[in-house]
Amino acid sequence: MKVSTGTADEFFERSLERARKIDRGEKLIPEITLTFEDPAEMMQLLSTQRVRIIECLRKNSVPISELATILKRDRKAVSRDVKLLESFGLVKTHDTPNPGHGKMKVVETLAAKYQLVATILSKEKDSNLLPGPFEVREQIFFDGPEQTRSEGIG
């Protein structure tokens, strides 16, 4: 699963390219991409606490109550975050019997690998936000040790 920033035009271009591959009889690699036009919205969804939830789930499915204990957070706060992540298709939940206590909600990831990419470019030298051309690219791979960050000011 790839979570990134991009424009609607980029989304449609990716879709057209996939359609062209199908027309040519090429095999498509299954992938899920969640794209935000505004990097701030992506970062709001993927807060530090929500990313920690995904990281905890990468090896095993975990009940919300156990997830809250692992993360040392309030169960209701974790439950709200899981619900939001689920609404964006980043995780899924299912109820399972909890002997003697009814049922419990178990959380699991939808992908073996999550890639987060945020690129912020400013070409306006008079920008109040960033001085001159500036690029920040974040890539975090939850399935392995690779974590990269590069910054450039030009």
Q: Which fold has domain 46-111?
A: Arc Repressor Mutant, subunit A (1.10.10)
pTM: 0.66
DSSP state string for 85-150:
HHHTTSEEEEEEE-TTS-EEEEEEES-S--EEEEEEEE--TT-SSSSSSEEEEEEEETTSS-EEEE
The whole-number mean pLDDT for each consecutive block of 10 residues of the chain, a chain of 154 residues, reads 80 88 87 78 84 88 94 95 90 88 89 71 49 45 40 34
Please report the pLDDT score of residue 121 as a whole number: 57
Please report the pLDDT score of residue 37 as a whole number: 80
Q: Could you report how far apart the first and last alpha carbons of the chain are, in Å?
A: 31
Please report the pLDDT score of residue 135 as a whole number: 46
DSSP state string for 50-71:
HHHHHHHHTTS-EEHHHHHHHH
Judged by DSSP in three states, 30 sits in: coil
Other Cβ atoms closer than 10 A to 106: 19
Question: Any idea where the domains of the chain sit in the sequence?
Answer: 1-16+31-36+113-154, 46-111
Please report the pLDDT score of residue 118 as a whole number: 62
Which amino acid is present at 134? Answer: F
Please report the pLDDT score of residue 10 as a whole number: 84
